[in-house]
Amino acid sequence: MRSLHGQTIVVATHNEGKLREFAGLMAPFGIAAKSAREFGLPEPEETGTTFEENALIKALAAATATGLPAMSDDSGLCVDALDGAPGVYTADWAQLPEGGRDFAMAMQRAEVALQERGATEAAQRTGRFVAVICLAWPDGEAEFFRGEVEGTLVWPPRGEKGFGYDPVFLPRGHDLTFGEMSAEEKHGWKPGMDEALSHRARAFQKFARARLGSA
């Protein structure tokens, strides 16, 4: 098995929130995380129809361009009452015509869609965050690790921490939305703990157990 200990991994994202989360998760293993932006890499077009396909596109592009192992995640919010939308198009719902993203607008769009479906009670507003991590090597080898967290969409948004749709997502069994949680509370996992909380941390937990020998 190829060793990752002490290596630099390219995190194939231009999203500073994701980079911070990955860097924090990798730090206990002595792995340095550098973003695709630091290498001057463009964002590849995400043409996949699944989280796995899009994660592979991003990770493989970064690994090929840098000659380093690269990690990417493709993640999204899947709302049951919206037939799984926005799903792989979660970020697209926030896209502005002039460029950039507005997640306040995206959260409002999701809420309008829920109201149109008559989903006003908590039991009608269930969904999950999904994250698929892809670890890719310059020679094309790739592995996938999937994490999910169930929850309910709340309105109005609560909290200003995290990023994306975090302020409207209340994870099952918790009183705080992801937007109200600190990074430590949101991840809910470090080496030696049984269970992660966030979808990205759960996917990373599977990666760490498979590739880093973490318990």
Average pLDDT of every residue of the chain: 90
70-79 vs 8-11, strand pairing mode: parallel
Q: CATH says 8-211 is which class?
A: alpha beta
Looking at residue 96, what is its pLDDT?
A: 94
In the predicted model, is pLDDT for residue 215 greater than 60?
no
In the predicted model, is pLDDT for residue 208 greater than 60?
yes
Looking at residue 5, what is its pLDDT?
A: 64
Looking at residue 191, what is its pLDDT?
A: 56
In the predicted model, is pLDDT for residue 1 greater than 70?
no
Looking at residue 162, what is its pLDDT?
A: 80
- pTM of the predicted model, to two decimals? 0.87
Instruction: Read off the pLDDT of residues 174-198 as tens digits, 9 standing for 90 and up.
Output: 999 999 999 888 876 555 556 778 8
Looking at residue 184, what is its pLDDT?
A: 81
> Average pLDDT of 66-91?
95
Instruction: Read off the pLDDT of residues 82-120 as tens digits, 9 standing for 90 and up.
Output: 999 999 999 999 999 988 899 999 999 999 999 999 999
Paired residues of 70 in beta bridges: 10, 136
pLDDT band at 6 (very low <50, low <70, confident <90, very high): low
Q: In what order do the strands lie in the sheet with 126-136?
A: 32-35, 8-11, 70-79, 126-136, 142-153, 169-171
Looking at residue 190, what is its pLDDT?
A: 56
- What percentage of the chain exceeds 90 in pLDDT? 65
CB 46 within 8 A of CB 58: yes
Of residues 22, 50, 49, 48, the one with CA closest to residue 35: 22
In the predicted model, is pLDDT for residue 169 greater than 70?
yes
Active-site residue (options: 74, 92, 139, 175): 74
Whether 102 is catalytic is no
- Helix segments in the chain, DSSP class H: 16-26, 51-66, 103-116, 183-187, 199-211
Looking at residue 123, what is its pLDDT?
A: 97
Tokens found for residue 33: 């995380």
Tokens found for residue 162: 């995290």
In the predicted model, is pLDDT for residue 2 greater than 70?
no
DSSP string, 96-139: -TTSSB-HHHHHHHHHHHHHHTT--SGGGSEEEEEEEEEEE-TT
Tokens found for residue 78: 């899947």
